[in-house]
Chain A
Amino acid sequence: MNAPLTLAHYMTVAGLLFLIGVFGALTRRNIIGILMSIELMFNAANINLAAFDRFLHPEGVTGQALALFVMTVAAAEIVVGLALLLAIYRGTDTVYAEDFNLLRG
């Protein structure tokens, strides 16, 4: 508990968060759940970026700026994703991923 915080601590938390996100994306049946899991993965990446910025390049803010870009892209992604979900829901009356197989080969 008393050991100083290192980059490894943050990377571990980020990695675990990412894996939880992966697990959710793989197992949730609900599309909204998948989207939420993807948000978790984005956040894991952002933690890493901020941590790298703090520990490896404290003289600049490049990592933070990159995290902001990621945040923006994530916002765009979730907005379009939810809009698509609404549109599909209107047509098919379902929100479960296994029912969406219109593109089946």
Chain B
Amino acid sequence: MLDQIVFYSLSVLVLLSALGVVLQRNAVHSSLFLGLSLAGVAGLFASLGADFLFGAQIMVYVSGIAVLVMFVVMLLGRASDLHLRQVNDRWMAALLVCAVASVGLLKIARLSSATVATVAARPGTHDIGRLFLGQWLVPFELISLVLLAALLGAVFFTRTENAS
């Protein structure tokens, strides 16, 4: 029973705050809702027993990416132009697309409505560590290379001309 309560409340939180992200006119509010939504996703991870993912989600998304987005929003003063429309004139078409896609997605979700968890959730941090430093070492190193490249790219793009 507790599981269900946690799940449904988290889901409602996630979906509502996601709607807030895409519908809020003020970009600052948008980014705050983004943080909330991502925290909700972290809660869903926790309810799935993915402890390491929960921690990573909090650290990377909620305290990293959401804050970063907030910074940029505030850095670009015009990002929060409140007198301008923040939604373009294609919103009807977009709604239609989403409706069509939702049919397929909900259909495929219903296929697995009989799949329930058979074993109890257990901590996975240890296994993830073994996996990353063992069998998946090369992808792990490659992804750190990707991060390095992203870092360099960010530095390169944001460099101002007179600084060089």
Contacts and interface: CB of A to CB of B under 8 A. Distances in A.
A–B touching in complex (CB under 8 Å): yes
Interface of A: 1-13, 15-24, 26-30, 32-33, 35-37, 39-40, 43, 46-47, 50-51, 53-56, 58-62, 64-65, 67-69, 71-80, 82-87, 89-90, 93-95, 97-98
Contacts of A76: 146-147, 149-150
8 contacts: A7-B113, A8-B112, A20-B22, A58-B119, A68-B52, A72-B143, A73-B146, A79-B150
Most buried by B among A17, A55, A84: A17
A99 B87 CA distance: 14
Given A1-B8, A71-B61, A87-B158, A64 B153 contact: no
Contacts of B69: 32, 35-36, 39, 78, 82
B158 A75 contact: no
A10 B90 CA distance: 29
Interface in B71-120: 72-73, 75-76, 78-79, 84-88, 90-91, 93-95, 97-98, 101-102, 105-106, 108-119
B58 to A, nearest CB: 11
Nearest to B122: A58
B53 A67 contact: yes
B61 A43 contact: yes
B88 A27 contact: yes
Q: Helix, strand, loop or mixed for chain B's interface?
A: helix
B106 A24 contact: no
Nearest to B41: A43
Contact count band on B: 35 or more
A77 B114 CA distance: 36
B1 interface: yes
Contacts of A24: 21-22
A61 B98 contact: no
A79 B112 contact: no
Interface string B10-52: 0100110011011000010011001001100100110011101
B48 A10 contact: yes
Contacts of A64: 50, 52-53, 124, 128
B154 interface: yes
Contacts of A10: 44, 48
A21 B110 contact: no
Contact of B105 (A19, A78, A97): A19
B98 A22 contact: yes
Contact of B22 (A16, A18, A33): A33
Contacts of B11: 9, 13
